[in-house]
Amino acid sequence: MTHDSNAPRRSAAEQARLEAVVRDVFEHRITFNELLGFKVTSFDPEATQIQFAMRPDLVGHYHYGRLHGGVISSALDTVGGLVVLLGIAEKYNGESTDQVAHRFGRIGTIDLRVDYLHQGIGEVFTATGRMSRLGGRIASVQMSLENEDGVLIATGSAAYVVS
């Protein structure tokens, strides 16, 4: 099936249904995300975001109480995957939630690079993702993680398979 740019856009009700399904998948059905406490806070394709709160079980350095690097990497990869999913939903914006959801199963991380820039100190962390390119087979995404004071904790870039 090819994308038809002249197809009618999905209705506002169907878009809301799609966002509810995406939220459920990313916050609950991917149980690792639920374990980490990730919450989708923005469906904006230009600045998709997830947030999570610091908890004692996310600490990577017991003496300083810093966020574990694996949690940082997971947050960046999660928001990257979310950006790709939303990019696909936008590309096929005439399709129903069920049709678009079928496409989601083909998304997978190919490569992820994380640059740890600052200690993971904070109470609330926000991961933001932006699509660099959505091709027919590969998507490229740039991500960042900040604390509640706007301190840039880490940046990332990733490639995802989309077909």
Map out the domains of the chain as residue ranges: 12-161
pLDDT for position 6: 63
pLDDT for position 18: 94
pLDDT for position 7: 64
Q: Which CATH superfamily is domain 12-161 in?
A: Hotdog Thioesterase (3.10.129.10)
Q: What pLDDT tens digit does each residue of the chain (163 aa) get? A: 445 556 689 999 999 999 999 999 999 999 999 999 999 999 998 899 999 999 999 999 888 899 999 999 999 999 999 999 999 999 999 999 998 888 888 899 999 999 999 999 999 999 999 999 999 999 999 999 999 999 999 999 999 999 8
CA pair distance 123, 116, nearest whole angstrom: 18
pLDDT for position 1: 42
Asked whether the CA dihedral 15, 21, 25, 26 is positive or negative, the reply is positive
